[in-house]
Structure 1
Amino acid sequence: MRSLYLPAVALLGLLAGCDADKMKDVASNNSCSLDSPATGTQVLSNVPFEPWGWAYNVVAGTVPKDVTLQIINAKNDVVLTTPATRAPRPDVAKAFDKPDLANSGFIAKLDISKLEAGTYSIKVIQQEGNFRYNCTSPSKFKIAAK
């Protein structure tokens, strides 16, 4: 009977490690701001869309290198995902009195020509190691038809 314990323990250890490399979502409050587009802004679908703002990991006080933006429609469906580029934001570092936030800005350029006219929001996702920090902007913007 004891000979069954070792394989069983080994199997449980293997199964426990199966999720070790999976992403873990962590919601961080007040970790981002979508500065553009402002709430209620109307954007044209035939013009490149360039949302920008700032984001950082509030808990650790760090600026994760990888940032992704998701465009969310009124039904709460993700309709577009794109990587963003980090950008200098000395104003954010000064406002929080944290010099490490000097590069907490982000900007992206999106092709929204295939999106339907309607109201949308943006989710900012930062990745640091195996953790993703999600921040959904309360700002809503409208895409107008061409």
Structure 2
Amino acid sequence: IYPEDPTDPQSGQPTGDRIYHVQLAVTVTIRDISKVGAVIQAGLGAGANDLNSLSFGIADSKSLEASARKAAVADALDRAKQLAEAAGVTLGTPLSISESIGSVPVPMFNRANDMVAAAAPPQINAGQLSVSITVNITYSIGG
């Protein structure tokens, strides 16, 4: 809740009236994408007059990260073996291992005014999200 003390547009003097503004933000998690449009329409129909954004995410990315990590390590080892063979050296043990988890691009929508004006629920199309892991492994080598 925050107050506003309006001024007369012509004189610039306070009118003496105090107006109070109230803001309420609600975050809704929906697991069935086919219901997103109906939920937006219900919220706007119930009096919400602003929709800040719509975003998509992965509920539990841990198992996806583990799979991506295993694949990245296997790929790094395979490439290291190829490089060692091409260079005529023996691949040794790992000296260091590091990883970076790529950010997941998340579609964002800011279409509140379009959605308010629409009589039918807005259509929300499914897309794809991805999990990305980059692994850097430094191996020792022998001649």
For the superposition of Structure 1 and Structure 2, which TM-score range results when normalised by the shorter chain? under 0.3
TM-score, normalised to structure 2, is 0.26
Structure with higher Rg: it is 2
TM-score (norm 1): 0.25
Name whichever structure is richer in helix by fraction: 2
